[in-house]
Amino acid sequence: MFAFIKGLVATVEENSLVIELAGLGIRVLAPLSRLQVQTGQEVFLHTHMQIREDSWLLFGFGEPEQLEVFKQLLAISGIGAKTALSIVNQLGVEQLAAAVQQEDAVAISAVPGIGKKTAQRLLLELKGKLAPIILPTKASPTLGGLSSLPHNDLLAALQQLGFSAIESRSLAAAAMEKAGDEADTSILIKEALKIAGNM
């Protein structure tokens, strides 16, 4: 429903942020160990909304790779949103990918709430699925940290146009290479769409 949220951090809680947006305080569950945030700071988070009978939960991530891994974890039977968030928070994307590649169940079972059997199932279910998420970051260091707001806006705009996080990152990197890192976001979007049209 919501591709991203951008606003000021009103409160930093134990496992969530309250973000002020247009006079509203929106609580976003986030992997805080992966985010360096302070009250009053502007943040940009890629989001996933979970709608249940008794609650609506919004999850936010500083990088699209984290969101993609979170979604992969949600697709595994028995892994709920809060457990998936805990895995991203504790291990991060690259450490989780390394654990899967090395079949390291011990590293995964170190996450609170993950037992040995669940860790083994995660290794089996995630095998071969994380590399496509990680590799675009390695190939596009300019966008890897998403520290620049124009880069965030570019990626978010492409995702809103229907491209996946991986496709958006690839298109953004190609557009920036052609138009230059300092080009205006609107120019980069047009360039990315041209590139997509030629694929």
pLDDT 10s digits, 89-111: 999 998 998 899 899 999 999 99
Mean pLDDT of 44-57: 91
The reported pLDDT for the residue numbered 152 is: 67
Average pLDDT, the chain: 84
What's the confidence (pLDDT) of residue 175?
A: 82
Residue-level pLDDT at 153: 75
CA distance 32 to 50: 19
Give the C-alpha separation, 180 to 71, whole Å.
32
| pLDDT tens per residue across span 51-103 | 988 889 999 999 999 999 999 999 998 899 999 999 999 999 989 988 998 99
Q: Is 115 left (phi over 0), alpha (psi -120 to 50) or beta?
A: beta
As a whole number of angstroms, the distance between CA 162 and CA 159 comes to 5
For 41, 136, 148, 174, the CA distances from 140, given in Å and listed in that order, are: 26, 6, 14, 9
How crowded is residue 26: how many other Cβ atoms within 10 Å of its Cβ?
17
Length of the chain: 199
The helix/strand/coil state of 17 is: strand
Which amino acid belongs to residue 166? I
Residue predicted with more confidence, 199 or 66: 66
Q: In which region does residue 34 sit, left (phi positive, over 0), alpha (psi from -120 to 50) or beta (all else)? A: alpha
Contact indicator for 74, 84 with CB cutoff of 8 Å: yes
What is the distance between the alpha carbons of residues 28 and 143, in angstroms, rounded to a whole number?
A: 24
- What pLDDT does residue 169 have? 75
Could you tell me the pLDDT band of residue 164, with boundaries at 50, 70 and 90?
confident
pLDDT digits (tens, 9 = 90+) for 107-158: 999 998 899 999 999 999 998 888 777 654 444 434 443 334 456 677 778 8
- CB-based contacts of 57, cutoff 8 Å, min separation 6: 29, 49, 50, 81
**Could you give the CA distance from residue 173 to residue 68 in angstroms, rounded to a whole number?**
18
